[in-house]
């Protein structure tokens, strides 16, 4: 398999007849993902925590693409009751686990889990599990989890999911992204072992100027802004690897699908994972804890004929 492709968003094919759930579709990358998909005829269910904000975004996108098929639905990834309500009655072909928070002060979810891990990983774990049966019946079904190169800095301590012993906003973000990767890879292994048609892919945008660092301490924001001046990609281009993963059946699982080198137009590259992300034992332990904490047991199955 080559480790890159020349694919760009201009190559995004017709998506008429396919339904995508995009979490975090009310800002940043989620809006750009929604815009590109809707422009190619997809139905997009915008999974947002603030439906007022989601409605405004939908209005803006409809002004650009009057025939855009967009539905705004409420989900708060930190609140598992809303995840269950959201999943009821939604039948997607593709789930894009994109929503998230970054670099926030320490806070706990109702289950007592640090909020970045709870939002970015546990909410998506539950959502994926609740939608998996319906995804199985979809057309070229896929789960795309949006990770980050920062997963390498994550340190997952399953005995301290509340991050009582050690907490830094950036460290906890990296750990939540490590959890995204462990989850995406374990889901891939389980889906393949079960012979499921659903594919689990992992993608990341490199660095893009969004609101993700809005809660970061001022010093971190300054560093981010300076780095961003050099490295950040326009949001519409940064979503290239995510769109590729969500729509191309040749996109590889088990790889980190990224945007390639900074300062160039994004073209999907297929990076291998390293470090704790490749520890299958850690992945299965995270899976069991996630099932316990969310009450959702993900059981891949093959479709009934």
Ligand X SMILES: NC(=O)c1ccc[n+]([C@@H]2O[C@H](COP(=O)([O-])OP(=O)(O)OC[C@H]3O[C@@H](n4cnc5c(N)ncnc54)[C@H](OP(=O)(O)O)[C@@H]3O)[C@@H](O)[C@H]2O)c1
Task: Write out the residues near ligand X by the rule CB under 6 A.
Answer: 23-24, 26-30, 49-50, 53, 75-78, 98-102, 119-120, 146, 148, 204-205, 207-208, 210-212
Q: Write down the least CB distance from residue 26 to ligand X, Å.
A: 4
For this structure, is 151 an active site residue?
A: no
- In the set 151, 167, 173, 244, the catalytic residue is 173
Comparison of 77 and 196: residue with beta carbon closer to ligand X: 77
Nearest residue (beta carbon) to ligand X: 28
Q: Write down the least CB distance from residue 305 to ligand X, Å.
A: 36
Q: Which of 84, 285, 90 is nearest to 186 (CA)?
A: 285
Comparison of 101 and 187: residue with beta carbon closer to ligand X: 101
Burial 225-243 (b: 16+ CB within 10 A, else e): eeeeeeebbebbbbbbbbb
Tokens 């590259």: give the residue.
269
Comparison of 77 and 298: residue with beta carbon closer to ligand X: 77
SS3 (DSSP) at 64: helix
Q: Write down the least CB distance from residue 15 to ligand X, Å.
A: 20
Comparison of 113 and 300: residue with beta carbon closer to ligand X: 113
From the CB of residue 42, how many other CB atoms can be counted at a distance below 10 Å?
26
Using the Cα atoms of residue 251, residue 234, residue 34 and residue 95 in order, give the sign of their dihedral: positive
Q: Write down the least CB distance from residue 146 to ligand X, Å.
A: 4
Number of helices followed by number of strands (H, E) in the chain? 10, 8
Q: Give me the active site residues, please.
A: 173
């Amino acid at each position: 398999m080559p480790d890159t492709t020349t694919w760009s968003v201009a190559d995004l094919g017709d998506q008429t007849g396919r339904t995508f759930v995009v979490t975090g579709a009310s800002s940043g990358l989620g809006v750009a993902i929604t815009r590109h998909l809707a422009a190619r005829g997809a139905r997009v269910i915008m999974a947002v925590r603030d439906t007022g904000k989601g409605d405004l975004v939908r209005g803006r996108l409809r002004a650009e693409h009057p025939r855009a098929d967009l539905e705004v639905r409420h989900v708060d990834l930190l609140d598992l009751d809303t995840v269950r309500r959201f999943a009821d009655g939604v039948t997607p072909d593709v789930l894009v686990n994109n929503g998230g928070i970054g670099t926030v002060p320490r806070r706990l979810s109702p289950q007592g889990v640090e909020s970045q891990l709870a939002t970015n990983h546990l909410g998506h774990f539950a959502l994926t599990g609740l939608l998996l049966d319906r995804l199985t019946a979809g057309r070229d079904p896929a789960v795309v989890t949006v990770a980050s190169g920062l997963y390498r800095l994550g340190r997952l301590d399953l005995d301290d999911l509340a991050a009582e012993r050690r907490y830094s906003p950036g460290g906890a973000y990296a750990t939540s992204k490590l959890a995204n990767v462990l989850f995406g890879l374990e889901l891939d292994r389980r889906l393949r072992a079960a012979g499921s048609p659903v594919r689990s892919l992992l993608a990341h945008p490199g660095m893009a100027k969004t609101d993700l660092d809005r809660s970061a301490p001022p010093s971190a924001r300054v560093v981010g802004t300076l780095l961003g001046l050099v490295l950040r990609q326009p949001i519409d281009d940064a979503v290239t690897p995510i769109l590729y993963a969500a729509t191309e059946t040749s996109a590889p699982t088990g790889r980190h699908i990224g945007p390639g080198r900074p300062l160039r137009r994004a073209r999907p590259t297929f990076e291998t994972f390293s470090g704790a992300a490749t520890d299958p034992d850690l992945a299965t332990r995270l899976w069991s804890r996630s099932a316990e904490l969310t009450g959702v047991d993900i059981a891949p199955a093959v479709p009934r004929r």
